[in-house]
Each structure stands twice: as C-alpha cells, then as structure tokens.
Chains A and B, each alone.
Chain A
Amino acid sequence: MNMSVIWPLVVFLVIIFLVGVYASRHVQSSSSFIQEYFLGSRELGGFILAMTMAATYGSASSFLSGPGAAYNYGLSWVLLAMSQVATGYFVLMILGKKFAIMARKYQAVTLVDFLFARYKNEFVVVLAALSIIIFLFSAMAAQWIGGARLVESLTGLSYTTALILFASSVLVYVVIGGFRAVAITDMVQGLVMVAGTVVLFIAALKAGGGMENIMRTLGAENPNLLSPYGNDRSLTPLYLSSFWILVGIGVVGLPQVAVRAMSYKNAKAMHRALIIGTVVVGVIMLGMHLIGVMARAIIPGVTVGDKVMPELAMTIMPDWLAGIVLAAPMAAIMSTVDSLLLLVSSAVVKDLYLHFINKKAEEKQVKKLSFIVTAVIGVIVFIVALQPPDLIIWLNLFSFGGLEAVFIWPVVLGLYWQRANGTGAASAMIMGMISYILLSTFYPNAFGMHTVVLPILLSLITFVAVSLFTGRSKWKQA
C-alpha cells in the first residue's frame, strides 16, 4: 500500500487527538463536571452546532453504502437522498427554542433527563435509557466494523489491527475530552467531509469528461438510470416519499441528534446553525450520491457497493489527494461513533446510576465513574466488533427507525402538547418499538412505504389516546 495515501489519514488522526487534549482542559477546570462532560456546558456556537449535527447524522451510509446504492439505482437514489436536506433545518426548528429553554429550566443534561422532568415517570426513564443503550450500542458496533473495514482496505493492515487503530483513536479523545471534544472533532470531521465531497465531485466530473458525457454513457447503458424510478423501475414514488419520514422528519426523534439541540449557547447560535446546517447537509448528500451515480460511467463493474467511493478516489486521483478525500468517510464514521459512545455512557452514568442507584454521588466520584464507564463501553464495543454476534447485527437493523419510533412523540408532544402525560409517553414508546420490530420482521415495507411509517403513526395514536384516557397531565407551567 502506498504511503502517500496513508499520510493524510495520519495527520487527520493527530489533529483529532490534539483536539481531545485541548477539550480535556475544559473538563478538568469546569465548575460542573456533568454539564461539561456530557453537554459541553451548553456553550456551542452556531458553526460548531451545525457541523456536529450534520456530522453526527452523516455516517458510513452517507459516504459508503449510500453512494454505492446510487451507483446501482442511478439518479433515483440521489432523489431519495435529497429527502435528508430537511434534517438540516427541520430538527432545530421543531425542537427549537422551546427545547433549549425547557432543558435549561430542568437542568437536563441528557434527553432522558428532559423526559423525566417533563413526565415525572420512572417507567419512561427506564424505557428511554434502555432503548438508548441497547440500540445505540448495536449501531455503534456496526459503525466500528465499517470504520475498521475502511482502514483495512486503505492501509492493507489486518482487520484486527485496523480495529485497534480505529478504536483507540476514537476512545482516547472521547474519554478524556467528553462532549466538547466530540463537538470540536465533529467540526473538523464535518469540514473534511465537505471538502472531500467537493474535491471528489470535481475530479469525477473531469475524469468522466463532463456531466453531459457521463449522463450519455449511463443513458446508453440503461436509460432507467436517468429516471426517478430506479434502474429496474422498482422504486415507486410512494416508497421514495416515505423516506421523508425515515431520514427527514423522524430524525427529530434520534437521541444523538436531539441532545445536540440542547447544547447551544444562545438563539443566535441556533439561527446560524440552521443556515449552515442546511448548506452542509445539502452539499454532502447531493454531492456524495451524485458522485456515486457518476462513478458508474467512470469505473463500471464494481460489485460491492461500499467499495465504489474508495475505488473511484484511488482510480481518478493522485495518491496523496485520494488519501485526503478518503479521510472523509473515515471522518463521517468517527463523528458518528464518538457521539454514540458518549450518549450510551451518559445513559449509564446519568440516567441509570445517578437516577436510580446513587442520587447524591459526589462530583469526584461521578467524574471517575464517567471516565471509566466511557472507556469500558468502548472496550466492550471493541470486543464485540472483533467478532460481531448475530444479535448485534440484528439489533442494528432496528436502531435507526426503532429509536425514531420510540422517541419522536415523547419529545415533540412533550414540548408542545400540554395534556401529554407519562402513561401516554411510556405506552407510545413501547408501541413504537414493538410495532417497529414486528413489522420489519413480518411485514417489511408495509403498503409500499418504508417500515418506519406505520410504527410512528401507531405510536402517535397510542400516545394521544392513552394521554386523553388517563386524564389531565401533571404538567405544571412554571
């Protein structure tokens, strides 16, 4: 393997590491450890907020499997991917100022804190913390496997060595630096993602002899690649539209994204983040997926979807530039797993330990515990990723849509519907999760829509019905 591909990756890792060290100083000097470690003391500015939301959301799928699918389906898959532009503004506008104000009022550090303060229901806490731990743990394991495979294919190292390299670099900065390290590295990673997208797009355009030429080649191979129906005309308008629920609107319910909506400094930061976030998500999603389609004309015959992007970069670019561009998927994976790692750790420390086991733990004790728990979770994920059990793979399939179905209504209705109560929230969470798992197992893509649509609807109906039946909520307006 050529060293000049590897150098940019090494430089990238060193920068990330330095950020961790920088952030750990804040962790040591902060007046409230918990607030700093799990939420960066609510000090994020607009730019970092936008980048960390976009980077946390954009994962291996945006850079590897997404473009791979676009390679196979054609422009229709880019159309599908564009439903994600909504996440750039929708999440922050919906949760918005109300969530930021309420989270401060409750002094909530985690999403679960918020839910507890709102519903005063222990059952909601247990359900929420467990779904975060179980599903995000599996999602994290899946992303680590993706990260290690990527390092493996770029460097030629063995899978185990690649995994050690990947895991240790993520672990170090998350454990010592907490949320601030995660957010700042997310910003660096987000910039790498945008830059990588733009550079690769220009290079692909040149290598393919211009867009007209590329589209003509694709049209000659199979005209359906240029249609909004997919290469085999199997993608219906209804099916594509249902992705607006999964990757657009439903993202409001993803804990790793929602928790960021309570981490920013002030309204100005939120306003800037809305604009920057929309631009960043739009550029990455449009760029990467369109590149996937263009790749079909430039390097035909790739059979493994995840390899389209790396192969394209290595074919059409000088090695050193390919190294920089390929830091982008790496960055995407890292910026997702670091957030998940911290979130799972906060669920264990803050939502379970501090909430149920030891309410009056001392600051020093909490600090030690947080470092240890974060590190231990990291090590467990590492062991799991060495030889992933089927259970993890199975759980990961549900993590994205499942978490949306669990959390979206308890969060949104908790904010905007005064009569929402704890019993309603708990039953909605159970309904969302169970119906999602059952439907995806026995009746996937019901009525031609993505599986997530029905559970979100069922969860809403359950929530409203149960809340109304069990009478007035204990919600007190302060």
Chain B
Amino acid sequence: MKKEKQEDSRFIIAKKEAWIGILLVIFNFIWWYGFAYGLGSGPVEKYRFIFGLPAWFFYSCIVGLIVMILLVVFTVTFFFKEVPFDEEGENR
C-alpha cells in the first residue's frame, strides 16, 4: 500500500479499535448494573452469600472485574493490530 488519498489504512484499524472500546464499556456497564441491582434490590435478609460476600457484590464487582480483564486480554490478542506510528511507517 502506497500513498493513499482517502483514509490511511491505519486509521481504519484505529477506528475499529475505538469501537471495540465503546462496546466493552457498554458490556461492562450492563454486567455491573445487572448483577448489582438484579440480585441486590431485595431485602438484605434474603441475600445469598458467596465467599462471605453478598451475591450481588460477588458477581457484579469481583466476577465482573475478572470477566473484564479476560475480555480485554481476548480482544487485544485477537482483534488489535500492530501498526507503525511514524510517518514513513507504511513503507517499512
């Protein structure tokens, strides 16, 4: 690929990766909100506990963090592309 007039191919990649960031944050929010208020909105006396913590907290915050870390590892490994950053990068 030589000089292109329209869009630098690196920018297409960059844009795609930015969209992945947005999708991840939306997923993260839904997971966080869903478990916290899905399991935690009832009376405290009825809570289930996992490893000593209320189930809503365990799933929303602890499992949620682990899931997000795994997702970031997964997307970065499989969807993120290495591109050169400097001006002549494309020719190298």
Contacts and interface: CB of A to CB of B under 8 A. Distances in A.
A101 B14 contact: yes
Given A85-B65, A282-B68, A416-B18, A249 B44 contact: no
Nearest to A264: B85
A211 interface: yes
B76 to A, nearest CB: 5
A94 B57 CA distance: 28
Interface stretch (A223-231, A315-323, A372-380): A223-231
B24 to A, nearest CB: 6
A275 B65 contact: no
Contact of B72 (A78, A241, A278): A278
A178 B53 CA distance: 45
B83 to A, nearest CB: 6
Interface stretch (A193-201, A212-220, A392-400): A212-220
Contacts of B82: 266-268, 271
Interface in B41-67: 41, 44-45, 47, 49, 51-54, 56-57, 60-62, 64-65
A96 B14 contact: yes
B15 interface: yes
Interface in A78-116: 78-79, 82-83, 85-86, 88-90, 93-94, 96-98, 100-101, 104-105
B76 A275 contact: yes
Contact of B76 (A82, A226, A266, A271): A271
A448 interface: no
Nearest to A212: B52
A311 to B, nearest CB: 23
A267 B76 CA distance: 11
Contact of B57 (A78, A214, A266, A416): A78
Contact of A83 (B32, B81, B84): B32
Contacts of A224: 44
Nearest to A101: B85
B85 A97 contact: yes
Contacts of A156: none
B10 to A, nearest CB: 6
Interface string A251-264: 00000000000000
A210 interface: yes
Given A93-B17, A212-B52, A275-B73, A267 B62 contact: no
A8 B92 CA distance: 49
Nearest to B54: A226
B13 to A, nearest CB: 7
Contacts of A402: none
Contact of A86 (B25, B36, B62, B73): B25
A282 B72 CA distance: 12
A105 B87 contact: yes
B62 A275 contact: no
Given A94-B18, A282-B65, A219 B28 contact: no
B7 to A, nearest CB: 7
A85 B28 contact: yes
Given A93-B24, A266-B82, A228 B69 contact: no
A237 interface: yes
B92 to A, nearest CB: 12
Nearest to A224: B44
27 contacts: A79-B32, A82-B32, A83-B32, A86-B29, A90-B21, A90-B25, A93-B21, A94-B22, A97-B13, A98-B15, A100-B85, A101-B11, A105-B87, A212-B52, A215-B53, A219-B44, A227-B44, A228-B41, A244-B29, A266-B82, A266-B84, A267-B84, A267-B85, A275-B69, A286-B61, A286-B65, A416-B15
